Amino acid sequence: MKKYIAIASLSLILSVYGCTKLDQEFYSSVTPDTFFKSEKDIKAALFRPFTHAKWYIGEDRWRLQEYTADNFAVTTKGRHWYNGGENERYHYHKWTADDNWIWGSWRGTLMGVALALDTKNDLSKLDYTKFALTAERQAADLAQLDALIAFFYLRGLDFFGGMPIFESLEQESLPRNTDQELFDHIEKLLKAAIENLPVKKAGDKEEGAIRKAVPAAMLAQLYFNAESYIGKPMFEESRKLAQDIVNNVYGPYQLDTKWNGVHGFKNDASPEMIWSMPSEFKMLEYNWFYADFYHYNTRQFFNQDMGGNNGAHLTPSLKPTGSSYITDFELGSPFEKFDDGDLRKKSYVYEGTDQYTGMFIVGPHKTPEGDVIVGGEEYKDKPLSFVDQVGRFSEVGPGKKYSSINELPSKMSEGEENTGIRLVKVPIPNLANNTLRWGADMPVIRLSEIYFILAESNYRLGDKQQAADLFNAVRKRNFVNDVDPNPVTVANIDMYRILDEWSIEFIGEGRRRSDLIRWKAFTTEKWWDHSPSISAHLNRFPVPNQAIAGNSNLTQNPGY
């Protein structure tokens, strides 16, 4: 059976970068009835596109969502991280159709569609009864693939707008479909998947398979952001779906009672997890972020053997002088948006036997034994202390570039090795418990997101009290004895409070750009070292020039 993988005609070049990286194999000289010998073979084929999805959710897709928004930055740190101005281009909304993150995301989206279509083509031709499997099982397997295709297209719609809709591997060089056509295609796939998937059973661990609640949640996401995608608000539709999920119409889910239950080493057992990507030490590791976030010497902080590249950090809440940016900008200042009593705001400490506290690296950097960790650049052989500020503090003093802190500029080009607070959303054990490393699965959809979709949909439809109650139902677990010092109320709920709640709960989960766009804030608001980019065309990324070079039927997005 010849596999056309027609998406290669769009310059996906499946045999080069992506396939090598993802250990891609195409069985181009076999047919399904000769290759599939057991249920194990079916599972191997079924979950191959999920491996691509696990890669797809992180790295460049994450960067497009977070480094273009108000919560994260990669500042230039002396001789490090200028990267030809790449990080500044994204922060200042000056990306181009030649930028690699954009090309990788266009290509990765359609590659995911191709892999899922390929598997669907094979499994649809099998006689499942030969493997002692039912027709219902086959329908469920195919429905998982429909949901996965919808997942890739949903992300593609968010990034680029309309994309070519492939329903067969034999199609070549298709033009882009309209935003509405892609929206309708995603909706159709998800509704069909809901019909054919089983529900989660009480007590089941979340191990990556797609069950009925997953396409229901993705359909809620589609409707929730419909105004951004097709210019039509659909908050009534997102509210109904989200309410049904909360009411367990699509399976038994409930909010985790612990703030880190859905992120910890055993999060596959969290009742809140609707869909996750499995991760395990030396198997499908959820680890790509480590090098980006952590200092070269942070291995001593974790008591680990992994070095970092010391790039990414939270955008600053404080000016070099120590005064707050909160009075200057409604957006940004992510660390200070956490209440001081929030259990997550503590510095990360691994407590052994899969227990930990805190979610940030902030302040003096020390080993678990309390020994001082020193720097290797601006603070070579001096104690490291991570600050919620951006500025070249090492250049202040007698005979130096700046005579006082008051003169320090704070912008993307002015970082140092200790610049910015570092997020530890995924817990890291010490070497003594190294079998736990990367044991936390990657959350893709969790029930708290559905609560937030329901809350914001209620707000948009005029029910402020219900919106506040839903936000607070999630917030309370982050405080001792569930006592929230700053709950959402009818009096304080507005666009900015809602955006703050999304930021606090989902910080670092690769969604911030989309939330800002939904509120029409992505191109109109200012935040640290970012002026409004004004033009709404920047709500979409350009179609990469490499894609257009490989398919002349593709048209560019307006404004590029």
Confidence of residue 192 (pLDDT cuts 50, 70, 90): very high
For 448-504, write each residue's pLDDT tens digit.
999 999 999 999 999 999 999 999 999 999 999 999 999 999 999 999 999 999 999
Q: Residue 8: pLDDT above 80?
A: no
Closest CA to 441 of 211, 266, 196: 266
* Sign of the dihedral through C-alpha 63, 65, 68, 72: negative
* Sign of the dihedral through C-alpha 67, 68, 72, 77: positive
Closest CA to 471 of 184, 255, 195: 255
User: Strands 363-364 and 385-386: what pairing?
Assistant: antiparallel
- Kindly state the average pLDDT of the residues 370-399: 97
For 286-342, write each residue's pLDDT tens digit.
999 999 999 999 999 999 999 999 999 999 999 999 999 999 999 999 999 999 999
What percent of the chain has pLDDT above 90?
90
Contacts of 462 (CB under 8 A, 6+ apart): none
Helix and strand counts by DSSP (H, E) for the chain: 18, 10
Closest CA to 311 of 6, 493, 59, 543: 59
Confidence of residue 23 (pLDDT cuts 50, 70, 90): very low
Q: Residue 384: pLDDT above 50?
A: yes
The helix or strand, by DSSP H or E, that contains position 14, with its residue range, turns out to be none
Q: CA 128, CA 136: separation in Å to the nearest integer?
A: 10
- Write the burial class of residue 487 (CB in 10 Å: 0-12 exposed, 13-18 middle, 19+ buried): middle
- 3-state SS, one letter per residue, for 523-557: CCCCECCECCCCCHHHHCCCCCHHHHHHCCCCCCC
The helix or strand, by DSSP H or E, that contains position 363, with its residue range, turns out to be strand 363-364
CA distances from 105 to 63, 219, 387, 465, 534 (A): 10, 22, 32, 39, 24
pLDDT number for residue 33: 63
Q: Which CATH topology does 6-197+545-550 take?
A: 1.25.40
pLDDT number for residue 3: 36
- Kindly state the average pLDDT of the residues 160-183: 95
pLDDT number for residue 169: 85
Closest CA to 391 of 323, 468, 474: 323
- Kindly state the average pLDDT of the residues 421-443: 97
Closest CA to 361 of 294, 412, 292, 430: 294
For 218-232, write each residue's pLDDT tens digit.
999 999 999 999 999
Instruction: Establish how many alpha carbons lie within 13 A of residue 454's alpha carbon, considering only the half-sphere containing its beta carbon.
Output: 23
CA distances from 15 to 36, 225, 430, 537, 552 (A): 23, 35, 38, 33, 21
Are 291 and 308 in contact, with CB atoms under 8 Å apart?
Answer: yes
Closest CA to 187 of 137, 141, 229: 229
For 94-153, write each residue's pLDDT tens digit.
999 999 999 999 999 999 999 999 999 999 999 999 999 999 999 999 999 999 999 999
Contacts of 358 (CB under 8 A, 6+ apart): 343, 344, 345, 346, 347, 348, 349, 424
The helix or strand, by DSSP H or E, that contains position 71, with its residue range, turns out to be none
Tokens linked to 247 = 């009411």
Tell me which of 324 and 203 has the higher pLDDT: 324
Name beta bridge partners: 364.
Answer: 385
User: Strands 355-357 and 349-352: what pairing?
Assistant: antiparallel
- Write the burial class of residue 507 (CB in 10 Å: 0-12 exposed, 13-18 middle, 19+ buried): buried
Look over the chain and give the mean of its residue pLDDT values, rounded to a whole number.
93
Q: CA 378, CA 417: separation in Å to the nearest integer?
A: 7
409: left (phi over 0), alpha (psi -120 to 50) or beta: beta
Q: How many CB atoms lie within 10 A of CB 494?
A: 12
Confidence of residue 534 (pLDDT cuts 50, 70, 90): confident
Closest CA to 547 of 186, 229, 111: 111
Are 319 and 425 in contact, with CB atoms under 8 Å apart?
Answer: no
Q: Residue 400: pLDDT above 70?
A: yes
Cα 184 from chain centroid? 24
Q: Residue 394: pLDDT above 70?
A: yes
The angle at the Cα of 111, spanning 106 to 116, to the nearest 5 degrees, equals 135
pLDDT number for residue 32: 63
pLDDT number for residue 222: 98
Are 68 and 106 in contact, with CB atoms under 8 Å apart?
Answer: no
Place of tokens 């890739």: 152
Phi and psi angles of residue 199, each rounded to the nearest 5 degrees, phi first = -90, 160
Q: CA 557, CA 272: separation in Å to the nearest integer?
A: 38
Which range has the worst mean pLDDT, 26-35, 155-164, 278-287, 536-545? 26-35
Q: Residue 396: pLDDT above 80?
A: yes
- Kindly state the average pLDDT of the residues 226-255: 98
423: left (phi over 0), alpha (psi -120 to 50) or beta: beta
Where along the chain do its domains lie? 6-197+545-550, 285-440
Phi and psi angles of residue 329, each rounded to the nearest 5 degrees, phi first = -130, 140
